[in-house]
Amino acid sequence: MAAERVLIVTGAGRGIGASIARIGAREGFSVCVNYARNRAAAEGVIADIRNTGGHAIAVQADVAQRDEVKRMFETVDRELGSVTALVNNAGITGPLTAIEDITDAPLREVFGTNVDSLFWCCGEAVQRMARKHGGKGGTILNVGSIAARNGGMAGMVAYATSKGAVDSFTLGLAKEAGPEGIRVNCLRPGTTETDIIIPLGGADLAKRVSAATPLGRLGQPDEIAEAAIWLVSDKASFTHGAILDVSGGR
């Protein structure tokens, strides 16, 4: 039997995505935990959800690739039911690189994961959610970054630019999809204590960012996830085209 509330979270094997998947399951969603390579991490999230009585599946797909995204959504259709909430969480920073040293391959990878994936995933979601396609509406949340506002760290121009595109994409899609019963919003986390900060400076980065943050610390994945699940829940039923910073005031 198809579930009434189906949540897809991209990049959900670790960090913020894993927390969104767990909390989404706690709030009653059947969850697709998407991952690109680390199946063991995704299976760990699935185990956590099932151990608390939730329903979840893990689906491997590189969301920068349109055909893999299509396969993921078709798998969810068969195993859970049609998606009602999508969180586009998958994202990469790329290497710290001065602008004059940026090369094609890492630039393409950053934009493929952080921007192209929005088009492929939202395209599939709208096909299922939009009233004009026989859908019942739904919610889409794009996970951006405060780097879109502050430019990020030195050496992260590509990342900050890609996250600026997430803001623009969200605002444009909100105008397009709202009349179809689809709410679209963006969540911009500040620096959060996950594995993603290790290659960017680890403990030293955490110390510097904490000192520059009014709350005096990094965010925790669950703090970001709670805001994400609120935005895709009925409690946020009149929140649309919004960009919410969860950044400790930074």
The sign of the CA dihedral 80, 51, 8, 182 is positive
3-class secondary structure per residue, 157-169: HHHHHHHHHHHHH
Cβ of 228: how many Cβ atoms within 10 Å? 26
Q: Report residue 188: phi and psi, to 5°.
A: -115, 95
159 annotated active-site: yes
**Options 35, 73, 111, 159, the catalytic residue:** 159
First CA to last CA across the chain, in angstroms? 45
Q: Encoding tokens for residue 165?
A: 């595109």
Q: Give the catalytic positions in this structure.
A: 159
